[in-house]
Structure 1
Amino acid sequence: MASVIEVTSRTPRDRCCRVAGLLALLLFSIVGARAEDVSPPGDQQPVATPSGQKSGAAGVRGNTASSPAAEQHRLPPDSTTKQTLALPGRTLAFTATAGSIRLFNDKGEPQADIAYTAYQLDDDAEARARPVTFLFNGGPGAASAYLQFGDAGPWRLAINGDAAISSASPDLQPNAETWLDFTDLVFIDPVGTGYSRFVATGDDVRKRFFSVDGDVNSIALTIRRWLEKSNRLLSPKYIVGESYGGIRGPKIVRNLQTEQGVGVRGLILVSPMLDFREFSGSSILQYVWSLPTMAAVARETKGSVTAADMADVERYARGDFLVDLVKGEADAEATARLADKVAALTGIDQAVSRRLAGRFDVTEFRREFDRKNGRVTGRYDASISGFDPYPDSSYFHFNDPSGEPLTAPLTSAAVDLTTRKLNWRPDGSYELLSGAVERAWDFGRGLNPAESISQLRQILALDPKLKVLVVHGLFDLATPYFGSKILLDQLPAYATRERVKLVVYPGGHMFYSRDASRQAFRAEAAALMK
């Protein structure tokens, strides 16, 4: 919904000042300034500073005029429209708002405009009692279109099978599995994604937003600001984050609990990355985490497979495989033993597995799995394959056949919905997945790479009623499900199975592209919120 102006006047010192103030106010009304050009008292909230520094006061009071340079980059006023969605067995009437929230630093200077798309069911009697869910993707550098148009939003774009190609029609259709039946939805695009943008210049501003803590603080503040201006502070609140959203999610809930004064009922993490420390570099756990997914891809070629079918591989990965890995390549017998077992589980040639000592990183597996046919598997969904553009090269020269084809249809669908159906027309380009943001990101250095398990422990300990749902795709090599399973198993006893639940669906990173997986995920989310 559009912001409502509050005009406050400072106490005049004499009658002349009163007259001057009234004349100025009259002139302002005649000119007809837009509501979004003046921020109401308390509307200017500081963006938190990098890790280790305090964010400043709770808010900046009074109006602060934006600079001319900032106004050149301002997003248009919020657009609110009434929508009706005809679905099997029901019709949903709802209000859609496409707009933005401006963030300020602790000096009251504008920093960034964060774009969002909100859908609220038209039921005034239940508005405050209805849950409201905030959703964002990851990257970093990804807009929320993946979750909005692939899974939970009112309209959906098919992103599987023949529809998952660049030239596919971007025509959105009513989404029978929308979550709008049981929760209002707010999709957030962090700065640098979607239409969200900086309004301040300078490297220091970008460094602050493009960091783990600065990003978390900006999204948490956006959530609080939306709740305030939409009169939804009393509603049950839920957070959904996908992929790098696994780093964001627990940290944002912690920030909301302790910095913003906003409680959260539940956290849903979709294909999350929870800890960069154990899935990169020299850590041998990266091979443990990914082995069940690689084996599942091999079994999928012979018939449908579920997470329950992978119990034997999980036992081997936790047990003998890990033991032989720890022995190292200096132990020739252990190395040959695990290499032969990995070859048997994945279907990769035994000679290749022995040459690599049974230690396949994701890129090597993706190429070797079907190299004889000149094909490579997807990273987001390894059950999808495409042609290797350089099959004879000794180096890897391929991208992701399960991810890149989605860029064109999702981008076109997002722009068409925003500008035509929602009647919000920002200038500039829509950024679905920004490589520039990812390249500029500060993930942490030295002994402190990005992880969110610490915050997950803290938020569960702080609020005994908070529930967490972690969902994965079985064939996802970007964030393998077994990594999350191992990490969640390390949580203290207070994180019971009733409070922290892991579910693995057939599919990849965007497992919700499969109809059955999307329907099952919707049922899990509804059960959590009810």
Structure 2
Amino acid sequence: MKKLALAIAVCLGSAALTLPATAAEKTSDHNIAIAIDNKVVTEHKATINGEKLTYTATTGTQPVWDEEGKAIATLHYTYYEKNKVSDKSQRPLVISFNGGPGSASVWMHIAYTGPKVLKIDDEGYPVQPYGLTENQHSILDVADIVYVNPVNTGYSRVLPGDDGKLPSKDKQKALFFGVNADIKYLASWLNTFINRNNRALSPKFLIGESYGTTRVSGLAHELQNEQWMYLNGVILVSPTDIGIERDGPVDAANRLPYFAATAWYHKALEADLQQQDLLPLLKEVEDFTLNSYLPALAKGGFLSLQEKQRIAKQVAKYSGLSETYVLQNNLDIPTASFWKELLRDRGYTVGRLDSRYLGIDGRDAGDKPDYWPELTSWLHSFTPAINYYLREELNYITDVKYNMFGNVHPWDRTNNRTGKDLRLAMAQNPYLKVMIQSGYYDGATNYFDAKYTLWQLDPSGKMQDRLSFKGYRSGHMMYLRRPDLAEANQDIREFIDSALPKGKSAKY
């Protein structure tokens, strides 16, 4: 692939700081820091969704400013634009975040929507030698994409003050590390990015994965109400609760469909269930969960013994666990216990983020696994791939460490009303649509919780036609499985197309 690299030095504010043509800025003979405001541009070719195209990749940093206009942090991003687009006002822009909080925007970047994808097997397991190949399913044929790394993730960093020292931990937390602080500074940063890159008129979409769904749900409202930037769509991949409560019996009951999916995958169910396809089985389990299991759990210790035994028998049948084990847990099986118990007799645990993965513990006894086999597997392939890709293919050279997971804790989770804010943003903006994407084998943010969140997002039911759910036969990062990579990207294409107004006025 022919690459044309262009390093651009930028002057930052009144300080007139000229940056060298490299991503790393020396601050002394022994210290390095990421450049505060720079970018490197490369040109590429690809075949995506059957279309041959050329595109520009821009990777660099852009400051976060405080209210006095001082740079307090710098965020690293990678921005892909399809070339030969005559009218950017007609070209959608997708703004992508991962979660954690504290995770870099690496997972969806090089395994889902971007123009390059990990070299992995068809089910998503790492294969050496690690690296990247062309992603023929990328959404770059229909939309430009920017991947943003929040503070302390990827190459993004907090900046020292005038005294040369970093702000205190408490100050950093107040500025960056909390539900609402995160949303506030990112909205301001995005406003700068949009205007710098002449995308004010473009249809805009947010996509977030895991905690990133909390982030983009809040951003939808913040962008509209504080930056006056209106969106066309929000995509929630493996969503958190986004501040919508589902404690107690709801939390316990909602796990069962995920348990059933995992047990089915590992052939741990009785023959009559195992011979069914996954989707009709899940429909059956969902009906039982809503109509029998949840009401039984709501009765707590006052559930009759006969009814408790009847429910336990059915929960055991659907979960692949023993009836005795279900009763020992008073019908409420913790997810960590399920990961340890399901295949205990085979000597394996199952993964948290993707329960197709198997782990081996030091001993078969115990009530939770020693480690998460799926995360270990993913870090095998993602870490070398992103470091190689940014340096060797996008020409972004720095000795600063790329943080797959950065130090953002303790994270302030108080006053999380992101779900309510997303509903309000939808009410204010008749164009705004929301789609949820979930993997059936995700035990961290299970798919039935995601459905519940969708149902509760707009209790009035008046915006039901703008809410949709898509499920996939994989886990938290469902796009790692090759068939789901194709299907999930196609679902995004269709969602983008459905959310474009096509001359329709923004009114009820």
Secondary structure of the 1:440 match is coil
User: Which moves more between the two structures, 105-114 or 209-218?
Assistant: 105-114
- In 2, Cα distance between the equivalents of 1:136 and 1:8? 27
Q: Within the alignment, does 1:381 sit opposite 2:359 as a pair? A: no
Tell me the equivalent position of 1:79. 40
From 304, 307, 315, the counterpart of 2:287: 315
Q: How far off its partner does 1:330 sit? A: 4.2
Alignment check: 8 A CA contact 1:511 1:517 kept: yes
From the superposition, tell whether residues 87 and 318 of structure 1 become closer, same or farther in structure 2 (CA, over 3 Å). closer
- Equivalent residue runs for 1:346-365 within 5 Å: 346-365=319-338
- Equivalent residue runs for 1:464-483 within 5 Å: 464-483=430-449
From the superposition, tell whether residues 163 and 366 of structure 1 become closer, same or farther in structure 2 (CA, over 3 Å). same
From the superposition, tell whether residues 223 and 135 of structure 1 become closer, same or farther in structure 2 (CA, over 3 Å). same
From the superposition, tell whether residues 224 and 36 of structure 1 become closer, same or farther in structure 2 (CA, over 3 Å). farther
Q: How far off its partner does 1:236 sit? A: 0.8
- In 1, Cα distance between the equivalents of 2:155 and 2:189? 15
Tell me the equivalent position of 1:33. 18
From 337, 340, 360, the counterpart of 2:310: 337
Tell me the equivalent position of 1:135. 96
Q: How far off its partner does 1:264 sit? A: 0.7
- In 2, Cα distance between the equivalents of 1:79 and 1:304? 52
- In 2, Cα distance between the equivalents of 1:290 and 1:515? 26
Tell me the equivalent position of 1:288. 253
From the superposition, tell whether residues 341 and 451 of structure 1 become closer, same or farther in structure 2 (CA, over 3 Å). farther
From 229, 240, 245, the counterpart of 2:196: 229
Aligned length: 471
- In 1, Cα distance between the equivalents of 2:50 and 2:410? 47
Q: How far off its partner does 1:262 sit? A: 1.1
Q: How far off its partner does 1:220 sit? A: 1.6
- In 2, Cα distance between the equivalents of 1:180 and 1:370? 41
- In 1, Cα distance between the equivalents of 2:37 and 2:12? 21
The one-letter code of the counterpart of 2:18 is A
Alignment check: 8 A CA contact 2:77 2:149 kept: yes
From 96, 111, 115, the counterpart of 2:76: 115
User: Which moves more between the two structures, 380-389 or 96-105?
Assistant: 380-389
Tell me the equivalent position of 1:185. 145
* Structure number with bigger Rg: 1
Secondary structure of the 1:92 match is strand
From 407, 412, 418, the counterpart of 1:442: 412
Alignment check: 8 A CA contact 2:349 2:359 kept: yes
Deviations 1:431-467 (A, max 9, x none): 1123x32x321111xxx4x352211210110011211
Tell me the equivalent position of 1:244. 211
Tell me the equivalent position of 2:345. 372
- In 2, Cα distance between the equivalents of 1:406 and 1:484? 23
- In 1, Cα distance between the equivalents of 2:251 and 2:13? 58
Q: How far off its partner does 1:495 sit? A: 4.6
From the superposition, tell whether residues 80 and 304 of structure 1 become closer, same or farther in structure 2 (CA, over 3 Å). farther
Tell me the equivalent position of 1:18. none
Q: Within the alignment, does 1:101 sit opposite 2:73 as a pair? A: no
Q: Within the alignment, does 1:171 sit opposite 2:131 as a pair? A: yes
From the superposition, tell whether residues 155 and 495 of structure 1 become closer, same or farther in structure 2 (CA, over 3 Å). farther
Unaligned runs of 5+ in 2: 1-5, 161-165, 268-273, 498-508
Alignment check: 8 A CA contact 1:325 1:335 kept: no
From the superposition, tell whether residues 70 and 133 of structure 1 become closer, same or farther in structure 2 (CA, over 3 Å). farther
Alignment check: 8 A CA contact 1:307 1:474 kept: no
User: Which moves more between the two structures, 487-496 or 421-430?
Assistant: 487-496
- In 1, Cα distance between the equivalents of 2:34 and 2:129? 31
Q: How far off its partner does 1:335 sit? A: 2.9
Alignment check: 8 A CA contact 2:244 2:453 kept: no
Tell me the equivalent position of 2:379. 407
From the superposition, tell whether residues 7 and 424 of structure 1 become closer, same or farther in structure 2 (CA, over 3 Å). closer
Deviations 1:371-416 (A, max 9, x none): 1112111111122222123323x35351211222111311111111
Tell me the equivalent position of 2:450. 484
From the superposition, tell whether residues 309 and 2 of structure 1 become closer, same or farther in structure 2 (CA, over 3 Å). farther
Secondary structure of the 2:148 match is strand
Q: How far off its partner does 1:125 sit? A: 0.9
Secondary structure of the 1:380 match is coil
Tell me the equivalent position of 1:421. 393
The one-letter code of the counterpart of 1:378 is G
Alignment check: 8 A CA contact 1:250 1:456 kept: yes
- In 2, Cα distance between the equivalents of 1:75 and 1:109? 12
The one-letter code of the counterpart of 2:252 is Y
Tell me the equivalent position of 1:156. 117
Alignment check: 8 A CA contact 2:337 2:367 kept: no
Identity over aligned pairs, percent? 28
Q: Answer 1 or 2: higher relative contact order, Cα 8 Å, separation at least 6.
A: 2
Deviations 1:474-515 (A, max 9, x none): 111111111121232232445544311111111111111122
From the superposition, tell whether residues 279 and 374 of structure 1 become closer, same or farther in structure 2 (CA, over 3 Å). farther
- In 2, Cα distance between the equivalents of 1:493 and 1:115? 40
Alignment check: 8 A CA contact 1:159 1:406 kept: no
From the superposition, tell whether residues 397 and 348 of structure 1 become closer, same or farther in structure 2 (CA, over 3 Å). closer
Alignment check: 8 A CA contact 1:267 1:467 kept: yes
The one-letter code of the counterpart of 2:84 is D
Q: Within the alignment, does 1:194 sit opposite 2:179 as a pair? A: no
Please give the root-mean-square deviation of Cα atoms over the aligned residues, in Å.
2.8
Q: State the TM-score, normalized to the length of structure 1.
A: 0.82
Alignment check: 8 A CA contact 1:343 1:358 kept: no
Q: How far off its partner does 1:109 sit? A: 2.5
Unaligned runs of 5+ in 1: 10-24, 38-66
Q: How far off its partner does 1:529 sit? A: 1.6
From the superposition, tell whether residues 454 and 8 of structure 1 become closer, same or farther in structure 2 (CA, over 3 Å). closer
Tell me the equivalent position of 1:498. 465
Q: Within the alignment, does 1:430 sit opposite 2:397 as a pair? A: no
- In 1, Cα distance between the equivalents of 2:426 and 2:37? 39
Alignment check: 8 A CA contact 1:339 1:359 kept: no
Alignment check: 8 A CA contact 1:217 1:255 kept: yes
Deviations 1:111-159 (A, max 9, x none): 1111100000001413332111100111101111110111100000145
